[in-house]
Structure 1
């Protein structure tokens, strides 16, 4: 397991040396306007944000069986939300390209997986036994075929390795990142480079920027699989301080998105094990809840992506223990705000319930991805 020294926490000011064991978080200020995209229920899956402002994700309410959830798709140009589902299939959304084309994976109760492509209302499917996790502007898909990392072009799979694994991200230059066994990898021009190997930390990349920067989380071999978020820029691996420093140095956070400015978003647990979305930039970690108007009374539980303009897609609720969440978009106040910026009025998800669901969702994604 990582030691407290390994998680590179910011230095505490002398006046704060006696303050608990939590890392010093960056000074907060209201930096984002909030736009409600859609209220889709409790079990929010991965959310994706395209360069054109389109947003998508997977969701199901607690009253809907696990294998009957839906994918929602928000079109920024028309401000319209569409959904689709497939009877008997659980849908997991992947990522979108700059044209708003979404990929994802469906799984039935027999355990069969099938990648899909959702192109503004038209749905196409890959073969059984495939997953689809990301797509670039050229239409090349990163995913898996037969539990092996693969890319897909025009429906044809190209295996990246003969070992078990999955390709989780691809950018417009064709760089691919993912996992092979217990290790992360980056593939350029067909050449596989392992990010790290060893019995303790297994860095798994979950996001890839347009300039090749990576973000993800360690899988710590302590029997609990507690994560520590990291980013890798120009070959330099940097661990991201958590919202709270747990015993043993655990950060208990995961990085889910990174942009060309090398801003990273994801989620991390607080001292009371409530999940909060975070933003990491310039060596500092921010709780996203501290960067929006406090009068909105938001509970931002996780941030799924950030674009090169700094816009963030996130999941938020208003109160605990009522098991319903919604998708929001955060726009930097220095940019032109969306005209539909207003308070979020929704029910929330409790810390224990959300943490359990997030772990379940990550397990599903790990299996599919």
Structure 2
């Protein structure tokens, strides 16, 4: 995979040339160095660091089978993986912003093509191309905008791009040249990189802002811009003479050669918002050394290492605003990513601003802020002063100088005492020995107001719930004065449209309430008829911001129908009458206007025809009787709809369930022997079945005969026949349609001593044992 490097942060166009440092940290600071390790292989490189000290780069896997992008945070190196399905593919991460979003390049299947990526929220996303097959991502700013280069359609050339809002935008080339690449974008959206006319011509460094691309390294010799900070300072490399490329700084329209360490060649790769620059330059010999450039001096980072560290620092790629440097060095014969940390104090204010809100003039409020030392040596706070233009109504009590050890904190107090009406803003400067933030600022704000009354209703609304017509309920609300001057209540009245069913206990007006005091307003609701009443009471006072406040009122007097029980079940009793109570659980008369069948309900259910309309007083009830008179066998369901003036339940449905079964009763049985011929004898059977129920139905009647078998010497069943009986409701009916029983002598069974059993199969099985002898004999 081809590796491209980018630069960081942000700026403004056409700014006046700034000094290299807004406040130059003193030279001679000691550093610690950390080996960031690898992902199991023998090599790693660190390319970017944010202001949270999170580092990104690439590191080899075990066996050096591939290298992957990594994130180093909290002492742990995490493999960010690739967009390829197999492990043996490459990726690298080049920059990380202060939100933890990472830009870089990965392989992408199919074809193992290079693709720019954005890593955010634990997800690596392909940024696409400009129509071709590949792309590379370099810089990212704190808005998450990514820059790099991408192939055009047909892969004939690559152009610089900026990726934002989900879209990759082609920013073109210098003077319609052949190719370009962007390395860095700052927080103002300004971009730097290079452009060239064809593959054989030298590159030219560009600055892109406001859709305009400008050449910042005109003339002979190639140039590349690698990074830009938020002051518009640009760093890179340019061939100031043939075959000799030097690091440069560009600012305010001027290009400055930063020189070299002790031999020719070098590049500036990163610049922070303090104007500190890192890169590399050759010393005598073939191996470059990493440098830090500040206060006009290029310093070999190897001279800042602790004695006996074992490191040779070759390349420095980035520096954050806390002076921490990342790059690549050699230790124990291997190239490893490194992190250099300056041994300095680092001041942190928590919170960074104090808002005292609105206060009465002449009063005071004190709040606290914490001074934390996130650095590695003692922080000395020498003094605290008011920023220029800040009101002296802000003051503090902590004694300075103050020393805060590494990892510790100290609390100091700020007091706001407004002397007059109006808003006060400003800041405190906390002056310390932090070389990067020697004058940390704590923002301050507060508003003073003259003493005034402040009216408040507690509660601001009264809900009386349900109150019975003809009675009343009373609830209180406190008229409070939360202000700093006397509150005068001048008038209390009903809001327009508010029912006279709301009233209140008189308060002597005007009424004066001292600061912190209150007066109770008792409000009574006495409904005269059913319904919901709403409105408010309007209270007028001398509160200048809220001269009129409303106490919201709600009350209701409503019937509430209830059926007890709500279901009548006739299934177990058959035809019968049951009752339900229509109850009024509400606070107003319940007017029942109609009772009728629900759709599809059988008219085998009937009810007592109560004269309607019917009124049930609150707490009262009336009885509704329902009769079930089934006509046919089966189950009947349905309901009665009871309509009333209950607004919540209209209609109220009384559920009905009925079940009817026929119950035949076997009254008699006879078996008659007929002998029309000596050789032709038969038996005829007759049963009488009654139906005492009012229900029509059918049932089976079964006749079984048993007798002694001469041949086998035992009792056998010789007859078993079934017929259907259908005795009408409230009737008795004879049935003689059982099949006749024929036999001839010599008789195989003792027909004259046979036993007969008749069974009726209905809801209640009836059984009748027949005669043991026939009613006549043939001779």
**Superimposed CA distance per residue, residues 170-215 of structure 1 (whole angstroms, 9 cap, x where no aligned partner):** 01111111111121111111111111233x3222111111211111
Which position in structure 2 is the counterpart of 1:234? Answer: 252
Q: TM-score if structure 1 supplies the norm length? A: 0.73
Which position in structure 2 is the counterpart of 1:115? Answer: 116
Partner Cα distance (2:343, 2:278) in 1: 14
- Find 1:130's aligned residue among 123, 132, 135: 135
How much has 1:284 moved relative to structure 2?
A: 0.7
Partner Cα distance (2:344, 2:37) in 1: 21
Partner Cα distance (1:130, 1:274) in 2: 30
Which position in structure 2 is the counterpart of 1:92? Answer: 92
How much has 1:74 moved relative to structure 2?
A: 1.3
Work out the number of aligned pairs and report it.
Answer: 300
Which position in structure 2 is the counterpart of 1:193? Answer: 214
How much has 1:271 moved relative to structure 2?
A: 0.4
Structure 1 portions without partners, runs of 5+: 1-26, 246-250, 341-369
Which position in structure 2 is the counterpart of 1:80? Answer: 76
Question: Is 1:207 equivalent to 2:205 in the alignment?
Answer: no
How much has 1:227 moved relative to structure 2?
A: 2.6
How much has 1:159 moved relative to structure 2?
A: 1.1
Which position in structure 1 is the counterpart of 2:193? Answer: 178
Residues 71 and 85 of structure 1 are in contact (CA less than 8 Å); yes or no, is this contact kept in structure 2? yes
Partner Cα distance (1:294, 1:242) in 2: 24
Q: Which moved more, 1:126-135 or 1:168-177?
A: 126-135
Equivalent position SS for 2:308? helix
**Superimposed CA distance per residue, residues 273-302 of structure 1 (whole angstroms, 9 cap, x where no aligned partner):** 222111111111111111121132322222
Which position in structure 2 is the counterpart of 1:105? Answer: 105
Partner Cα distance (1:255, 1:150) in 2: 22
Partner Cα distance (1:42, 1:244) in 2: 30
How much has 1:62 moved relative to structure 2?
A: 9.3
Summarize the alignment of residues 1-369 of structure 1 with structure 2, pairs less than 5 Å apart.
Answer: 29=28, 31-39=30-38, 41-45=41-45, 47-60=47-60, 63-65=63-65, 68-76=66-74, 79-86=75-82, 87=86, 89-107=89-107, 112-119=113-120, 121-127=122-128, 128-146=133-151, 147-161=158-172, 163=177, 164-181=179-196, 182-198=203-219, 200-219=220-239, 222=242, 226-245=244-263, 251-319=264-332, 322-335=333-346, 336-337=375-376
Partner Cα distance (2:326, 2:95) in 1: 12
**Superimposed CA distance per residue, residues 254-281 of structure 1 (whole angstroms, 9 cap, x where no aligned partner):** 1111112211101122102222111111
Residues 45 and 92 of structure 1 are in contact (CA less than 8 Å); yes or no, is this contact kept in structure 2? no
How much has 1:43 moved relative to structure 2?
A: 4.4
How much has 1:216 moved relative to structure 2?
A: 0.7
Residues 43 and 62 of structure 1 are in contact (CA less than 8 Å); yes or no, is this contact kept in structure 2? no
How much has 1:36 moved relative to structure 2?
A: 3.5
Partner Cα distance (1:120, 1:244) in 2: 44
Alpha carbons of structure 1 residues 179 and 157: separation in structure 2 relative to 1, 3 Å: same
How much has 1:145 moved relative to structure 2?
A: 2.5
Partner Cα distance (1:89, 1:45) in 2: 17
Residues 45 and 57 of structure 1 are in contact (CA less than 8 Å); yes or no, is this contact kept in structure 2? yes
**Superimposed CA distance per residue, residues 76-112 of structure 1 (whole angstroms, 9 cap, x where no aligned partner):** 4xx4321133335432322111112110112479673
Structure 2 portions without partners, runs of 5+: 1-25, 152-157, 197-202, 347-374, 378-405, 408-779
Alpha carbons of structure 1 residues 42 and 269: separation in structure 2 relative to 1, 3 Å: farther
Structure with the bigger percentage of strand: 2
Residues 183 and 225 of structure 2 are in contact (CA less than 8 Å); yes or no, is this contact kept in structure 1? yes
How much has 1:113 moved relative to structure 2?
A: 2.1
Residues 28 and 290 of structure 1 are in contact (CA less than 8 Å); yes or no, is this contact kept in structure 2? no
Q: TM-score if structure 2 supplies the norm length? A: 0.36
Partner Cα distance (1:197, 1:325) in 2: 36
Q: Which moved more, 1:121-130 or 1:277-286?
A: 121-130
Root-mean-square deviation (Å): 2.7
Partner Cα distance (1:291, 1:300) in 2: 10
Partner Cα distance (1:273, 1:62) in 2: 29
Structure with the bigger percentage of helix: 1
Residues 141 and 170 of structure 1 are in contact (CA less than 8 Å); yes or no, is this contact kept in structure 2? yes
